[in-house]
Amino acid sequence: MTARVLAGPPAAEVLLQDAAARASRLPAQPSLVIVRVGDDPASVSYVRGKARKAGEVGLRGTVHALPEATSQADLLAVIDSLNRDDDVNGILVQLPLPAHIAEMAVLHAIDPRKDVDGFHPLNVGELWAARPALTPCTPAGIMFLLKHYGIAVAGVRAVIVGRSHLVGRPLAALLLNADATVTVAHSRTHGLPSVTREADLLIAAAGCPGLITPEMVKPGATVIDVGINRVPGAGGRSHLVGDVHPDVSGVAGALTPVPGGVGPMTVAQLLANTVRAAELQHHLRSEGAGELVR
């Protein structure tokens, strides 16, 4: 058996077209500002990709690049001015931040109505309470991908490997809200293979190349590979691999590729979240955590 390939781009396209149509109905062009601190090459490349995609679907995407040595106070001042700027609908601070900046202090400073990453505690709390909120892009993008390919979530056993604030935790909330039976595994989990083998829906978000091997997968399961790992390849060139070993395609029923799987969904969802944030700010939509503040 060879697993069905769940390609990201066709599903992302549906999400992007919907975002573009909604953007065109707004009184002003939705605007996203991505704040980047330092020059980590992966961050530079992701941020550029996100801003370019924004332009393609009729959003204004701006990159606010700050030097590595920027102080926490200066970064907070930038966020404060973006919070106050009515022309800015969405704010994303690219992670990771340099070690001298407290990530939580920064994420808490973003106006929850502009928090297109869904990392502010207000949005996190609303998500876990199963109320409308701005929702982290990778998990929300995965839910859209599953829906697009007609993969059932209600009632199934879902196992997530990884418990980060970026991916594992919010995905657990979304799957639970969609009536899956959810297990979250991590680096301290005893007997990981016996846990993952229970999964009808297995999500690998650990950042470990090839972690998920065929004997860890229930035959016919859907496997979502979130991992983006740059590894050295032949001829001194590096390439991207996921957390799922390629041989898993012989056991799984369906599998997302890397690249071209979850990554494009993340970018599309970011733009959809920006349009949603703009709708909230223009009072065209009443539901969403942002309505609870101020």
Q: Which of residues 144-163 bind ligand NDP (CB under 6 A)?
A: 161-163
Residue 94's binding partner out of ligand GUE, ligand NDP, none, with CB under 5 to 8 Å set by partner kind: ligand GUE
Residue 203's binding partner out of ligand GUE, ligand NDP, none, with CB under 5 to 8 Å set by partner kind: none
Q: Which residues bind ligand GUE (CB under 6 A)?
A: 45-46, 49, 92-95, 117, 137-138, 228, 240, 258-260, 263-264, 266-267
Our CB check for ligand GUE shows the closer of 106 and 180 to be 106
The answer for residues whose C-beta is within 8 angstroms of residue 250's C-beta and 6 or more apart is 1, 2, 3, 214
In whole angstroms, the minimum distance from the beta carbon of 209 to ligand NDP comes to 8
Q: CA-CA distance, 73 to 279, in Å (whole number)?
A: 30
Tell me if the bond preceding 193 is cis, omega within 30° of 0: no
Our CB check for ligand NDP shows the closer of 123 and 138 to be 138
The only residue of 212, 226, 271, 289 in contact with ligand NDP, by rule CB under 6 A: 226
DSSP states of 239-264: EEE-SB-GGGGGT-SEE--SSSSHHH
Q: CA-CA distance, 166 to 160, in Å (whole number)?
A: 13
Residue of 111, 115, 117, 200 marked catalytic: 117
211 is a site residue for ligand NDP (CB under 6 A): yes
Contact region with ligand NDP (CB under 6 A), list: 22-30, 199-207, 232-240, 285-293: 199-207
31 assigned ligand-binding residue: no
User: Closest Cα partner for 267 from 1, 27, 29, 59?
Assistant: 59
Active site residue 94: yes
Residue 62's binding partner out of ligand NDP, ligand GUE, none, with CB under 5 to 8 Å set by partner kind: none
**Cβ pair 272, 18 in contact under 8 A:** yes
Active site residue 117: yes
> Which of helix, strand or coil describes residue 66?
strand
187 is a site residue for ligand NDP (CB under 6 A): yes
The answer for residues whose C-beta is within 8 angstroms of residue 239's C-beta and 6 or more apart is 230, 231, 233
Q: What angle do CA 92, 98, 102 make, to 5 degrees?
A: 75
Which residues are catalytically annotated? 50, 94, 117
Q: Which residues are annotated as a binding site?
A: 162-164, 228
The residues binding ligand NDP (CB under 6 A) are: 138, 161-164, 166-168, 185-189, 192, 205-208, 211, 226-229, 262-263, 266
